[in-house]
Structure formats: structure tokens, C-alpha cells
Amino acid sequence: MRLHDIYTTAVEAGIEADVRSREEIDHVLAAAKKEYEGLADDEKRFFDTERLTNPYDDTRICIGDPESEVRGLITGIDMEVGEVVLADRLRERGAPIDLIFAHHPEGPGYANLHRVMYMQADLWAARGVGIGVADALIAPRAEEVRRKIMPVNHYRAVDAARLLDFASMSCHTPADNNVNRFVQELVDGEAPRTLDDLVKLLHSVPEYEDAAKKGYGPALVQGSGSGRCGTCHVDMTGGTEGPTEALDTLVAAGVGTLVGMHYSEEHRKHAEKIKLNLVIAGHVSSDALGMNLVLDRIESKGVEVFCTSGMVRVRRS
């Protein structure tokens, strides 16, 4: 596959699994076009034109010729400088690795991670939260994340890939959208009665089973195992954690249990206060599940896949 084909495959996989309608995604793209066209000519050079066709600001080709052929890629949850050097060492041993394929964003995807957080409003609205309330809740949290990541050295791993002659790209929200849909459909289809049943159900997923064997599998962190789940809402996409206030609106909308990749202690304590159940499926294992669903589409086209940094390859097609 060409590098550009891998990129578009990832974006298309994200759109297919997105909780938002195609109409809403088209609106997001149209808003980006309007913003671009409204800029002065000397400002347009700073605009990321990928926003005109790709609704996921955290998923980008960081470096590499889009037309270059990719024989193989090395993928992991965090692909930092150490993993790039590992890729070079494997290539010296004969591995046909042309692409560093990261889950957590690097380069431009990391710098603009906050932009994808606005889709969380649509996730909450799908559960009955008013969209006006949802938009008002996510905006200040997204800005907080933007300020937090501004000082970060976004291009360390990308620069290492460039010096070692690798292409580099990140695949964040498309993978997260896929794991979010997968787990939500699993929970809705099996309808576990109790929280213990819910954790047991998650263990049936190979990536979560593997994590449990390694000591970091699914866990109940708020609520009683014998307690009933009620309405389960899977919360695994949209950049990173939203505000604690969102938990109140979900409870008001009838949600009894949240299933997420991870929750801060602040979120856990707030959930305890408002009697909302929390189940952590697992961060790295959930990321691996989402990446596997995207990689199925890429590997089937003849690209060899090498895994590191938390990735456990499970094939479903």
C-alpha cells in the first residue's frame, strides 16, 4: 500500500465507526473550509489543510512521501524515540519496516489533540444530554487540554523517524472510535445484569483477556460487583477525559454505568459521590483493540505488521 492509502484507510475506518452522523461530520469539514477561506492569504500557510477532508486532527501523516510504498509497519500504543530506534535495529536484521504507525499522536496530531475533544458532546447527546449543555461542558475542558500540551516537545519521535528514514503517522481517534463501537455493541448485545457480569464479559475479549493475564485487565473501580449495571455507556473516544461535570449530566440522562479506558481519581471520587458505577476496561488494551480493528483493513492489503509498545495483534478478518 502507499502511505496515503494507509492514511485514508484509517480515516475511513474512523468515520464508519463514528457516533456522529455523516451529516454532522460533513458539517465539521464544511466549517473548516469556511475558516480556511476566511483567512488572509498570508495566514493560509499556517492552516492545516488536512482538516478539509479529515475530521480527526489527531490522525496525521507526520513525515514521509504520501506516494511511497509501505512494505511493512511497526505499530504500538506509544511510539517514542526508543521505539523508532528499535524499528531501525529490526530493519538492520532484515525486517521490511517503512512506517512508524503510532496510536497516541505525535507531531501535528499531538499538538492539535484538543480539537477532537469536541466530539464528546455528540457522545453525551446520543445518551440524552442536551447538545447545548454538552457543548458548553466540553469547550473549557478542551481549552484546558490545549494549554496543557502547548509546552510539550511534540516532534521528538517524528524527528528521530526522519533522521532514520522512516515514514511516520498516528492513528488515534479512528482507532478509539472503533473500540468504542465494538465494546458498546458487545455490552448492548449481551446486556450484563450486574457489574461482575460486565467485567466477566469484557474478559471474553482477547485483548482484555491478555491484559488480565498480565495484571492490568478490566476492573470495577466504583460500585458493588453485585450491583446492577443499568444503562451502560461506553466512553472510549474523543481525545482524552472530559470534565467531571459531564458525569452529572449522564446520570441525569439515565446512565447507570460508565465503561472507559481510564478515569482519574478526581473522576472516580465524583462518580462515588453521585453513585455512578465505573468500570475500567483498560487503557493500553483498549487502544490495542481499536488499533487491531483498523490494522485488519491494512494488513489484508499485504502490509506486514510488527508489534511493540503494548500492541497485541488479534486478527478478526
Shared domain check, 102 and 198: no
Same domain, residue pair 280 and 302: no
Q: What is the pLDDT of residue 273?
A: 98
* Across 60-79, average pLDDT: 98
Mean pLDDT of the chain: 97
Mean pLDDT over 202-207 rounds to: 98
Domain identity same for 21 and 156: yes
Position 162 scores a pLDDT of 98
Q: Say if residues 124 and 246 touch (Cβ distance below 8 Å).
A: yes
Instruction: Give the number of other Cβ atoms within 10 Å of residue 16's Cβ.
Output: 13
- Same structural domain, 42 and 128: yes
Find the mean pLDDT for residues 61-79: 98
**Does one domain contain both 104 and 13?**
yes
Q: What average pLDDT does range 65-71 have in this prediction?
A: 98
Average the pLDDT over 218-237 and give the result: 98
> Into how many domains does the chain fold?
2
Is residue 315 domain-resident? no
Residues 197 and 239 in one domain: yes
Q: Are residues 146 and 211 in the same domain?
A: no
Query: Is the predicted pLDDT of residue 24 greater than 90, yes or no?
Result: yes
> 188 and 165, same structural domain?
no
Question: How much is the average pLDDT of 225-239?
Answer: 97
pLDDT at 306: 98
Task: Report residue 195 CA to chain centroid gap.
Answer: 25
**314 located within any domain:** no
Beta strands in 130-286 (DSSP E): 167-170, 219-222, 231-235, 255-260, 277-280
Angle between helices 3-17 and 283-299 (to 10 degrees): 120
pLDDT (tens digit per residue) in 293-302: 999 999 999 9
In the chain, the percentage of residues whose pLDDT exceeds 70 is 100
Query: Is 23 within a domain?
Result: yes
Residue 129's domain comprises: 3-172+286-307
* Whether residue 165 sits in one domain with residue 97: yes
Residue 317 has pLDDT above 90, yes or no: no
The predicted pLDDT at position 8 comes to 98
Give me the CATH number covering residue 145.
Answer: 3.40.1390.30
Inside any domain, residue 106? yes
Confidence of residue 283 (pLDDT cuts 50, 70, 90): very high
User: Do residues 129 and 219 both lie within one domain?
Assistant: no
Residue from 169, 175, 237, 227 nearest 196 by CA: 227
Nearest to 275 by CA among 247, 244, 234: 247
pLDDT tens for 159-203 read: 999 999 999 999 999 999 999 999 999 999 999 999 999 999 999
What is the per-residue pLDDT across 100-141, written as a single tens digit (0 to 9) for each?
Answer: 999 999 999 999 999 999 999 999 999 999 999 999 999 999
Is 316 part of any domain?
A: no
For residue 59, pLDDT beyond 90: yes
- Are residues 255 and 120 part of one domain? no
Q: Is residue 313 part of a domain?
A: no
Within a domain: 71: yes
Q: Give the model's confidence band at 79: pLDDT under 50 very low, under 70 low, under 90 confident, else very high.
A: very high
Angle between helices 283-299 and 173-190 (to 10 degrees): 110
**271 in a domain, yes or no?**
yes
| pLDDT, tens only, 248-279 | 999 999 999 999 999 999 999 999 999 999 99
Among the residues of 38-119, which ranges form H helices?
Answer: 81-92, 107-111
Q: What is the CATH number of the domain that holds 211?
A: 3.40.1390
- Statement to judge: residues 28 and 141 lie in one domain: yes
Average pLDDT over residues 72-94: 98
